[in-house]
Amino acid sequence: MFENLDQIFLLLRDWIAGFLPVFLRPLVGTVLGVVGIASVFPALFALTTVFERKGLARMQNRLGPNRVGPFGLLQPIADGVKSLTKEDVVPLSADGVVHFLAPLLLVVAVFMGFAVLPVGRNMVLVDLDCALLFYFAMGASSEVAVFMAGWSSRNKYSLLGAMRAVAQMISYEVVLLLSSVAVVMITGSMSLTRIVAAQNQYSGVLPHWYIFTPWGLAAFAMYAIAGTAETNRSPFDLPEGESELIAGYHTEYSGFKFALFFLGEYLGMFSISGLGVTLFLGGWSAPFSFLGWIPSWIWFFAKVMLSIFVFIWVRGTLPRLRQDQLMNFAWKFVLPFTLFNLLVTALWRFMGDGWLRWAVCSALLAAAYLLMARTGMRREQFTSRSYRYAE
Amino acid sequence: MNFVFWILAMLTLGSGLAAVALKNTVHCALALTGAFAGLAFLFLSLGAQFAGFAEILVYIGAVAILVVFAILLTRGSETPIGSVFSRHWFWGLVAAAAVFAVFGGAVLASVRVLPNVQAAPVAPVQAIGFALVGRYVLPLEILAVLLTAATIGAVIIALHELPQESLPQKEEQ
């Protein structure tokens, strides 16, 4: 019975496709998969906006939306109606075509990334051999959309925000790729279904998730930092710093185009969390072998929502990083540590199985962290404060 | 498949023509991005998945961004004073036709020379990896040296501004 529940969406798709002639069935199957993705993730987006506002509010000792529906849960409907009916203001000197295309390109690029995520057992829209490369290619395409948005608005603040956002995204994209390369090295394939299958094994009760290995933990930490920076989430949200640049590269967008940017940002968050879950947290596999009867897609979405909750938690807790602090952090700590982690991953792969490789790799990574982060990044000698007043 | 090729070819050529013919330089850069996308889709239609996705990742994700940054941070983003077309367009056309004749002749001759290989890519990414560290390891190392030199050059260029601006904040460092 639980196997049927696990595969229920595939059975549903086959049942619907069964009503049609044979030559149309693969096409209808794909279309149903696309419809599934295009309906589930925006629905999650609506839910997440409420959770974010309530969660942030509670962390800041206030209530959050509580007028629309019980506990404010129908707030996304109000937001949707507002953004659909609001006047679409386009600046007179803005570049019309590019201004229109930028949010479209962003949303298209982000949606494409969902096509290769395995959300459950046998439940991936496209099973590519180099799925990971496809995912990062789509992520890179969204940077062009950010730049287009900032430049076409003919607004200095938008352009500044767009430049900062693109610089930040490019720097942390390198880290994202390198921390995923460690996973590819151990698995031996760029196919996301193979990566999940490699983690879907249990020794006794405990799973073989990559986060439970020393190199996996380090790579996951770097991936989480880079993912937060890629999606411009706090503490890396200077490009859209609400207190600094009004709204950064989407200042001049109103109405539904702004809603598309908002959607693109949150979907990017889901996408990065989904990939992180697939690469490090075992994808759709259960945390303990005796919990395998719970459907795989429930595990995937539970892990993704847990990551989203951590994103919201971090946003409410940590202060924003300045642009130069952000870039220093990327190039001077995160990138060297990720490169060192690649070496340690290779060492793990070629040492034999046993307790020795655990000890050696953990010791190496701990030493590297202490050396690079604690001592190497410490450059502020705090002397007495000096003030400079305007004349 | 032929139909797909014609559509992609029209996309690539149209974007390329727009990249040289538009007045606004940033529009030209965006049209160039479209040409890169067309090339990537051509790779994908030939079944070279790695090459196609790497093209998107590298060209659209990095090279296009570099081009637009270069345009914005220099004076290229201002509207051009004269015409965008050169006065010596005839000789440019002759040079382009000569280059096209050389490339076309080489490609057509190679079809006769190389054997007709029906390569079905079985795990092509692994094959690329083995080739990179096996047969083509010397070009790989030379590329690594080139990239290191470029990185060092970029650091030196960025470092150049530091000594002039550090005077008021020197004691706070």
Token reading at B65: 């961004």
Maximum C-alpha span of chain A: 82
Query: Are B123 and A129 an interchain contact pair (Cβ–Cβ within 8 Å)?
Result: yes
Q: How far is A144 from chain B (nearest CA, A)?
A: 7
Within-domain flag for A234: yes
For residue A381, the chain B residue with the least C-alpha distance is: B173
Q: How far is B114 from chain A (nearest CA, A)?
A: 28
**Structural domain of residue A169, as residue ranges?**
88-375
How many Cβ atoms sit within 10 Å of the Cβ of residue A293?
11
Contact A244, A90 (CB under 8 A): no
Token reading at B54: 């790497």
What's the rounded Cα separation, in Å, for the pair A79 and A358? 50
> What is the pTM assigned to this prediction?
0.88
Query: Are B49 and A130 an interchain contact pair (Cβ–Cβ within 8 Å)?
Result: yes
Q: How far is A166 from chain B (nearest CA, A)?
A: 8
Q: How far is A359 from chain B (nearest CA, A)?
A: 30
Q: Is the bond leading into A235 cis (omega within 30 degrees of zero)?
A: yes
| Residue A206: strand, helix, or coil | strand
Q: What is the dihedral of CA B63, B65, B70, B73, to 10 degrees?
A: -170
How many Cβ atoms sit within 10 Å of the Cβ of residue B141?
10
B64 touches chain A (CB under 8 A): yes
Within-domain flag for A57: no
Within-domain flag for A192: yes
**Among B49, B65, B168, beta carbon nearest to A144:** B65
Within-domain flag for A35: no
Supply the pLDDT for residue B107. 86
φ, ψ of residue A123 in degrees (nearest 5):
-110, 75
End-to-end distance of chain B based on CA atoms, in angstroms? 63
Three-state SS annotation for A71-100: HHCCHHHHHHHHHHHCCCCCCCCCCHHHHH
Chain A contact set for B122 (CB, 8 A): none
Residue whose C-alpha is closest to residue A333's, from A362, A363, A370: A370
Token reading at B120: 């079905």
Supply the pLDDT for residue B171. 42
Within-domain flag for A54: no
Best of B24, B58, B59, B65 to disrupt the A interface by mutation (most A CBs within 10 Å)?
Answer: B65
Q: How far is B125 from chain A (nearest CA, A)?
A: 7
Radius of gyration of chain B, Cα coordinates, nearest whole angstrom: 22
Query: Are B56 and A141 an interchain contact pair (Cβ–Cβ within 8 Å)?
Result: yes
Residue whose C-alpha is closest to residue A286's, from A274, A309, A302: A302
What's the rounded Cα separation, in Å, for the pair B128 and A104? 34
**Least reliable range by pLDDT among B32-36, B57-61, B111-115, B117-121:** B117-121
Token reading at A191: 């196919």
Query: Are B68 and A137 an interchain contact pair (Cβ–Cβ within 8 Å)?
Result: no
Chain A contact set for B50 (CB, 8 A): 130, 133
B124 touches chain A (CB under 8 A): yes
Angle at A61 between CA A60 and CA A63, to 5 degrees: 100
Q: Mutual orientation of helices A192-199 and A256-280 as an angle, nearest 10°?
A: 50
Query: Are A144 and B72 an interchain contact pair (Cβ–Cβ within 8 Å)?
Result: no
What's the rounded Cα separation, in Å, for the pair B55 and B38? 10
Token reading at A74: 């129908």
Query: Are B61 and A128 an interchain contact pair (Cβ–Cβ within 8 Å)?
Result: no
Query: Are B56 and A170 an interchain contact pair (Cβ–Cβ within 8 Å)?
Result: no
ipTM score assigned to the predicted complex: 0.82
Instruction: Map tokens 């990551």 to a residue.
Output: A307
Supply the pLDDT for residue B169. 45
Chain B contact set for A133 (CB, 8 A): 49-50, 53-54, 57
Within-domain flag for A296: yes
What average pLDDT does the structure give for chain A? 88
User: Mean pLDDT across the stretch B87-97?
Assistant: 90
Within-domain flag for A129: yes
Q: How far is B3 from chain A (nearest CA, A)?
A: 19
pLDDT per residue as tens digits for the range B16-48 = 999 988 888 888 999 999 999 999 999 988 888
Instruction: pLDDT tens for chain A, 391 residues: list them.
Output: 778 888 888 888 888 888 888 888 888 989 999 999 999 999 999 999 999 999 999 999 998 888 888 888 889 899 889 988 988 888 888 888 889 999 999 999 999 999 999 998 888 898 888 899 999 999 998 888 988 888 888 888 888 888 888 888 888 999 999 999 999 999 988 899 999 999 988 887 788 899 999 999 999 999 999 999 988 887 887 776 655 656 677 778 888 888 998 899 999 999 999 999 999 998 899 888 888 888 889 999 999 999 999 999 999 898 888 888 888 888 889 999 999 999 999 999 998 888 899 999 999 999 999 888 877 666 666 667 777 777 6
Report how many domains make up chain A.
1
Within-domain flag for A66: no
Token reading at A361: 């790799």
DSSP B60-105: IIIIHHHHHHHHHHSGGGSPPSS-SS-TTHHHHHHHHHHHHHHHHH
**Among A137, A148, A166, beta carbon nearest to B57:** A137
pLDDT band at B108 (very low <50, low <70, confident <90, very high): confident
What's the rounded Cα separation, in Å, for the pair B170 and B173? 6
Supply the pLDDT for residue B116. 62
Best of B23, B27, B28, B57 to disrupt the A interface by mutation (most A CBs within 10 Å)?
Answer: B57
Supply the pLDDT for residue A336. 92
Supply the pLDDT for residue A41. 93
HSE toward the beta carbon, residue A109, CA cutoff 13 A? 27
Supply the pLDDT for residue B164. 53
Token reading at A256: 């539904």
Q: What is the dihedral of CA A136, A141, A144, A149, to 10 degrees?
A: -110
